[in-house]
Amino acid sequence: MKIMKFGGTSVGTPERMKSVVNLINQGEKVIVVLSAMSGTTNALIEIAGMLVSGNNASALNRIEALRARYHDVINELYSTQEYRNEALKMADEHFNYISSFVNGTFSRSMEKSIIAEGELLSTNLFSLLLQEMKIKSELIPALNFMRIDKYGEPDLYYITENLNRELAKYPDTDIFVTQGFICRNSFGETDNLKRGGSDYTASLAGAAIGASEIEIWTDINGFHNNDPRYVDNTFPVRQLSFDEAAELAYFGAKILHPSTINPAREKNIPVRLKNTMDPADPGTIISRDYELKDYKAVAAKDGITAIRIRSDRMLMAYGFLRKVFEIFESYRTPIDMITTSEVSVALTIDNTLYLKEIEKELSELGHVEIEENQSIICIVGDFRTERTGSAPEIFEALDTVPLKMIAYGGSPYSISLLIDTKDKVKSLKLLNQHLFPEIYGN
Ligand code: ADP
Ligand code: ASP
Ligand code: MG
């Protein structure tokens, strides 16, 4: 059995949804994971925000505009009036639920229930489409098996037990459809796996059933060597190892949710990235294998905060770093990059929820400086020193960009740099020209 996940643009129009039917209906057993139709999650987040701030009239306008959009989709998606009517009834129930919050009291905990409606709508529409086309399938609710613990981490044991139990109910079914992104938390409330989380649903479901492959279908021909949103002339990288892909996804490559690779790597399940608009293209395969190249790909992650701690007490002392790490651990705040000198340590975080508390405790160890609006650039390649030395092309490329931190040597396959976010686009472009000269005809 394999997993096929389709993102927002892949199910974003009636025409796209119909082409997804062709892709999944190939006689193989499959779990189809769907995102919300593109634009829906953003709209729902806006609506929830309006309700939280008591802006109920605007919320209602926005809800009705979204309802009208879904009515248009439904009128085009189905070929019979019977299914149109059924889908309109289903969609109206969802929109009536959302608008019921306009006249009631609204608390933050209800936000997640509204945001979940996007995936509930897309999977219901898709299931009805399969029914109209007489393709046997079952819709299995993600809220029955996808669960996070009190720290927001997926509970793979629970997911495995419950997903397999759902599947076992339908031994004669080949096509299962479920929602990406949404889950229950440890209180049993509706929650989610954070933005872009449908990829993570796909890999968690893949790990839970021991899938033969996890396919992520999106709107581009696989994993590109650089961020195509900022850089022209990027190209697909056809093969990546789990480690390389995990590093790039964690450090900002939007094509994959940052945690997608972990469950697949753990169970050694290949992840294939494919383009729904161009299914013949081979895309990218991510597996245990390494196809080493000097430079394979570059990604960047924004929203980074650098913290520098300077203390003479570090001089010739041991145990100082442990004290620093313990502070971050007690606030469950992961550290991304770290560098040290004899009397100072610099590190970065992206979760600033407890920054004030962390700063206060660190200042008992030394002088603390905080710098926000930073970005990490991650370059993946082969940096075993006997081959590429100290990767001179990177530093040549960025000789006009102030580098705030450099992490080199932690892994032979990646180098991370900290820069000001305002220098990010320029840096990505310069790296493209210097590290991949073949595309510029050099
Ligand atoms: P989906 O809705 O299918 O999940 P996303 O928008 O989340 O799609 O991810 C696909 C997008 O990721 C691409 O359209 C592209 O703009 C962006 N992207 C960023 N970095 C990369 C990269 N290295 N390779 C491919 N796409 C990337
Ligand atoms: N619909 C969710 C989002 O927009 C999840 C996803 O698309 O992966 O973030
Ligand atoms: Mg995505």
Does the structure show a pLDDT above 80 at 277?
Answer: yes
For residues 341-369, average pLDDT: 95
Q: Specify the range with the lowest mean pLDDT, choosing from 241-255, 346-360, 428-442.
A: 428-442
Beta bridge partners of 295: 381
What value does the mean pLDDT of the chain take? Answer: 95
CB neighbour burial string for 275-294, b if at least 16 within 10 angstroms, e if fewer: bbeeeeeebbbbbeeeeeee
Q: How far apart are CA 252 and CA 324, in angstroms?
A: 26
Beta bridge partners of 284: 273
Q: Higher pLDDT residue, 320 or 177?
A: 177
Does the structure show a pLDDT above 70 at 262?
Answer: yes
Taken as a whole, the chain contains a residue count of 442
Identify which ligand lies nearest to the alpha carbon of 254. 1
Per-residue model confidence (pLDDT) at position 245:
97
238 in Cβ contact with 222 (< 8 Å): yes
Q: How far apart are CA 325 and CA 64, in angstroms?
A: 49
Per-residue model confidence (pLDDT) at position 237:
97
Q: How far apart are CA 141 and CA 86, in angstroms?
A: 19
R_g (Cα) of the chain, nearest Å: 24
Quick check: CB of 251 below 6 Å from ligand 1?
A: no
190 in Cβ contact with 44 (< 8 Å): no
Query: DSSP states of 328-343 as a string?
Result: HHHTT-----EEE-SS
CA of 220 to the centre of ligand 1 (A): 7
Per-residue model confidence (pLDDT) at position 409:
85
Which atom of ligand 1 is the closest one to the Cα of 253? 20
Per-residue model confidence (pLDDT) at position 317:
73
203 in Cβ contact with 251 (< 8 Å): no
Tens-place pLDDT, residues 87-113: 999 999 999 999 999 988 777 778 999
For helices 81-103 and 56-77, give the axis angle rounded to 10 degrees: 170
Q: How far apart are CA 182 and CA 57, in angstroms?
A: 27
Quick check: CB of 12 below 6 Å from ligand 1?
A: no
Q: Would you place residue 261 in the very low, low, confident or very high pLDDT band (cuts 50, 70, 90)? A: very high
Does the structure show a pLDDT above 90 at 162?
Answer: yes
CA of 436 to the centre of ligand 2 (A): 31
**Which tokens in the block code for residue 184?**
């229950």
Q: Does pTM top 0.75 for this prediction?
A: yes
CB atoms within 10 A of CB 95: 18
Query: Exposed, middle or buried, 343 (CB in 10 Å: 0-12/13-18/19+)?
Result: middle
Does the structure show a pLDDT above 60 at 167?
Answer: yes
> Domains, the chain, ranges and CATH?
2-219 (3.40.1160.10), 296-440 (3.30.2130.10)
Quick check: CB of 9 below 6 Å from ligand 1?
A: yes
Q: How far apart are CA 254 and CA 230, in angstroms?
A: 12
Percent of the chain's residues with pLDDT above 70: 98
Q: Higher pLDDT residue, 222 or 391?
A: 222
Q: What angle do CA 139, 83, 35 make, to 5 degrees?
A: 40
CB atoms within 10 A of CB 297: 28
Per-residue model confidence (pLDDT) at position 315:
66
Tens-place pLDDT, residues 18-64: 999 999 999 899 999 999 999 999 999 999 999 988 999 999 999 99
Give the distance between the most distant pair of CA atoms in the chain: 79
Q: What angle do CA 407, 408, 413 make, to 5 degrees?
A: 115
**Which tokens in the block code for residue 55?**
């802006």
Our mutation pick for probing the ligand 2 site, out of 195, 201, 203, counting the most ligand atoms within 8 A of Cβ, is: 195
Per-residue model confidence (pLDDT) at position 342:
83
Query: Exposed, middle or buried, 193 (CB in 10 Å: 0-12/13-18/19+)?
Result: buried
For residues 154-182, average pLDDT: 98
Per-residue model confidence (pLDDT) at position 198:
98
Q: Would you place residue 313 in the very low, low, confident or very high pLDDT band (cuts 50, 70, 90)? A: confident
Tens-place pLDDT, residues 199-256: 999 999 999 999 999 999 999 999 999 999 999 999 999 999 999 999 999 999 999 9
| Straight-line distance from the first to the last Cα atom of the chain, in angstroms, rounded to the nearest whole number | 45
Beta bridge partners of 177: 32, 139
Which atom of ligand 2 is the closest one to the Cα of 181? 5
Query: Exposed, middle or buried, 154 (CB in 10 Å: 0-12/13-18/19+)?
Result: buried
Percent of the chain's residues with pLDDT above 90: 88
Q: How far apart are CA 295 and CA 2, in angstroms?
A: 31
Per-residue model confidence (pLDDT) at position 105:
78
Within 6 Å (CB) of ligand 2, which residues are found? 7-8, 35-36, 41, 118, 180-181, 195-199
DSSP H/E element including 166? helix 156-168
CA of 168 to the centre of ligand 1 (A): 34
Per-residue model confidence (pLDDT) at position 397:
96
For residues 335-362, average pLDDT: 95
Q: How far apart are CA 342 and CA 310, in angstroms?
A: 9
Which atom of ligand 2 is the closest one to the Cα of 118? 1
Does the structure show a pLDDT above 60 at 442?
Answer: no
Tens-place pLDDT, residues 395-434: 999 999 999 999 988 888 999 999 999 999 999 999 999 9
Q: How far apart are CA 166 and CA 21, in angstroms?
A: 22
Identify which ligand lies nearest to the alpha carbon of 41. 2
Could you identify the residue written with the tokens 């494919």? 274
Per-residue model confidence (pLDDT) at position 407:
93
